[in-house]
Structure 1
Amino acid sequence: MDALFPTYAKWDIVVEIAEGSKIIDKSGKEYLDFVSGIAVCNLGHRNPVVQQAIQQQLDKFWHVSNLFHTELQQEVAGKLVENCDMDSVFFCNSGAEANEAALKLARKYTQKSKVITFKQSFHGRTFGTMAATGQDKIHSGFGPLLQEFVYLPYNDCEQLEKEMDDTVAAILVEVIQGEGGVIPASAEFLETIQNLCQKFGALFIIDEVQTGIGRTGKAFAYQHFNISPDIMTLAKGLGSGLPIGAMLGKEYLREAFGPGTHGSTFGGNLISLAAAKATLDIIFHDEFMLDVEEKGEYLSKKLNEILGDQSWMTEVRGKGLIQGIACQSEVVQAITAIRNNGLLVLPAGQNVIRLLPPLTVSYEEIDKAVNLIEETLVNVGIN
């Protein structure tokens, strides 16, 4: 008897072991992993440096609560703020919790309630972040949602300018909509958000849960643009597979989040922080970021070269090592066929095949993945 709630449409794979870019199941079948735990294992599975850091912390202590000062929290927070425009960090356990913290801080600081988000967005599945998500399928069946969220078309400056006024507490946006279809924001759109927030006294919040920690070839995806958000949220790639999230904010927001305003029993736990520190020590270097950017360009170029003449493909889009193959029709069956052929990929919306390889992926593995996609979809077809 299965004792789990059936909240996930699980694949017919039982993992036995994983290392680097590979997963091996119980039957011994090997898969090339271009899912990375959904943009989590940015250094691949069981990175030895991260694993050693986790073991060292396990040998010291596991948990003491946030009533204590811990040097590791300060070190990881310091490493994060040194690499972005933020000044303060709140640690939690997931992307949804990071976005919850951001929404609470925005309302607390501005003393306003209205929040603008965007259609196809995804920000989490708690009541607050579900309400912030601009997808009806996420809302369905749960009764009244948290109020005063407005969903506007993504990349539509005109609609945003019409909606914006001084009742808005914040605008929450993804630089690349991941779950919504690997849809990048335009520079004009992001700059318009920033300008309107400054004009009307609202906070500019960027959700970097999927795009942060090197995924796009920068430490954070917003750094590809001439913008500086008030709040940024992180999770996924921060802990190389251990549960950790973070909400970062500017200095002037500190007093709005004083003692008793927010908290998390397990937020900033030492085991996850040890993984995070080791992860950031590797990723936050210019040479590493350049390597990710070059691999992303190579992956995009290869996909266009190999699949560009296929009538079922609309475009390849994304940045760095978050890439989407947009198709004319639904991709669920195609993704299953690709998986059966030994490559793990994801959907993004109904019509997009999403690729999220480890940032440490080799060029040979990229070639192999593109060839497996071609072999599967050209020979099997996509319907």
Structure 2
Amino acid sequence: MDTITTEDTLGIAFSRRLPLAFSHGTGSRVWDEHGKVYLDFTSGWGVNSMGHAHPVMVQALTNQASKLIQGPNAAFTYSPVRASLLQTMRTVLPGHLSRIYFCNSGAEANDAVLKLARKMTGRSEVISTLGSFHGRSLATLSVSRGPDNPARFLPPQQHTRFVPHGDIAALEQALSSDTAALIVEPVQGEGGVRIPPMDWLAKAERLCRQHGALLILDEVQTGFCRTGRFFAHQHSPEPIRADIITMAKGIAGGFPFAAFAVSESVYEGLQPDDHGGTYNGNPLGCAVADVVIRYLRDKEVATRVASLGERLITRLHALHAQHPGIIQAIRGQGLLTAMELHDQDQVRNLAFACADAGLLVVPTRNGVIRLLPDLLVSEADLDAGLDILTAVLAAHANAAHDIAPLASAG
């Protein structure tokens, strides 16, 4: 079987892919079908928080799969594995977020809370931020990127407003008695690792309280130690009391899983049949998420991420100083980092060249390349990946022509 031909012939692709097929991985490394090894600085778009094939995860998967994968009658019955995960979640979540629901993806979690926020407030309008990303369902699409994004698929959305990320004056002007909620990423991920002013979230929370609107924090990409704190909103100098937090990606180390947590006051406004799902809170996903969260908590992974993040950002700033004609800006928090290029057309070519040299990075819209190594990456592997990036940028700077993409890229 030819993997690439089969997928191109029988599958549906909504993006232009690297002509690479990966067979296995361990730690921060993956191997393609031909045996070539790569350093993975994508973490599967930020989900492989503990790297590939971590033994703690493998054991949890194997043990639970041999017992019960999906419970009878799903949410109509109870699960000891789910109960254990609920208790574990309470040890890492802010104390006021006392109720938790499990689902399957970040988009699903965000879709659910948008629906619930409108229902419980009796208001229709939701405010989001320009450049944000909250998912690709109908509801989450309407609050992602900006008004031009949902307009590709939907009639003009009368009940969504966008404000610049971090602009407190614009938010104050947009909030009204019709606003059900503000949904915001503490750090924009897909938008290019955009970090707002440190006091922005606290000010946004106060404005939401004044207008009776709910504050929804989308911690799908930023949660579970990715930024050097267990949750990114904890970088705020003032404590943040969000009404709802959504979580996914790193929560189960790469296994499809997600959750949202709400305050007791939000919970009191929910009713039976407001939400549900066949696979939500399934025993297999709960078992994996439980061991991942315990590991991140007990090993104090957030602390090592903060330290490694400083090492990473220092080297990226050095690259910026060496190549100011190529790199426009460096941004980052923990192991969520971005390198913005002057020429957005070079992003894909640079990503291809890195892959050709044995480093996988994340090409992102708006001229950005993201680096998202797993949270357990060693200093040696981090440096090795950055050495590859350094060599690729040097070759680009010295070349009189564009970086040649992989020969088979098309």
TM-score (norm: length of structure 1): 0.96
Of the candidates 66, 72, 75, which is equivalent to residue 84 of structure 2? 75
Shift of 1:145: 5.5
- The secondary structure found in structure 2 opposite 1:66 is helix
Give the match for residue 378 of structure 1: 394
Rounded Cα–Cα distance in structure 2 between residues aligned with 1:348 and 1:3: 26
C-alpha contact 1:213 1:219 (8 A) present in aligned 2: yes
Pick one of 290, 298, 304 that aligns with 1:291.
Answer: 304
Secondary structure of the 2:215 match is strand
Structure 2 counterpart of 1:352, one-letter code: V
Paired AA for residue 367 in structure 1: D
Name the residue aligned to 1:15: 22
Q: Is the 8 A contact 1:332 1:350 kept in 2?
A: no
> Is 1:230 the equivalent of 2:271?
no
Partner deviation per Cα, 1:329-349 (whole Å, 9 max, x = no partner) = 111211111111110001232
- Partner residue of 2:255 out of 237, 242, 246: 242
The farther-off stretch of 6-15 and 20-29 is: 6-15
Once the two structures are superposed, residues 213-246 of structure 1 have per-residue CA deviations (whole angstroms, 9 ceiling, x without a partner) of 1101111111111222110001111111111111
Structure-to-structure mapping, 1:65-104, within 5 angstroms: 65-85=74-94, 86-104=97-115
Residue 146 of structure 1, CA deviation: 5.2
Once the 2 structures are TM-superposed, how far is the Cα of residue 192 of structure 1 from its aligned partner?
1.7
Q: Any residues of structure 2 matched to 1:282-321 within 5 Å, and which?
A: 282-285=295-298, 287-311=300-324, 312-321=326-335
Q: Aligned equivalents of 1:366 and 1:49: distance in 2?
A: 22
Match of 2:189 in 1: 178
Task: Summarize the Cα distance change of 1:172–1:378 in structure 2 as closer, same or farther, 3 Å threshold.
Answer: same
1:347 aligns with 2:363: yes
Structure 1 vs Structure 2: percent identity of aligned residues? 34
Residue 45 (1) aligns with residue 52 (2): yes
Pairing 1:205–2:219 present = no
Say which of 331, 338, 343 aligns to 2:354.
338
CA distance in 1, matches of 2:319, 2:16: 30
Q: Size of the alignment, in residue pairs?
A: 383
Amino acid at match of 1:220: F
Per-residue CA shift, 1:176-231, capped at 9, x if unaligned? 11111111121232122101011111000010110011101111111111222110
Amino acid at match of 2:222: T
* Structure-2 separation of matches of 1:70 and 1:133: 35
Report the 3-state secondary structure (helix = DSSP H, G, I; strand = E; otherwise coil) of the residue aligned with 2:314.
helix
CA contact (8 A) 2:82 2:287 kept: no
Q: Per the alignment, do residues 338 and 140 of structure 1 end up closer, same or farther by CA in structure 2, a change over 3 Å counting?
A: farther
Q: How does 1:103-122 map to 2 (within 5 A)?
A: 103-122=114-133
Structure 1 partner of 2:38: 31
Structure 2 residue 70 is the aligned partner of structure 1 residue 63 = yes
Residue segments in structure 1 that go unaligned for 5+ positions in a row: none
Deviation by residue 1:252-296 (Cα, 9 ceiling, x = unmatched):
111322221100110111111111011001101373221111001
SS at match of 1:78: helix
70-79 vs 359-368, greater mean Cα deviation: 70-79
d(CA) in 2 for partners of 1:55, 1:151 = 45
Structure 2 regions of 5+ residues with no counterpart? 1-5, 404-410
**Aligned partner (choices 178, 200, 223) of residue 189 of structure 1:** 200
Aligned AA for 1:353? I
In angstroms, what is the RMSD of aligned CA positions? 1.5
Q: For 1:186 and 1:357, locate their aligned partners in 2 and report how far apart those are by CA, in whole Å.
A: 25
Distance 2:90 2:196 in 1: 24
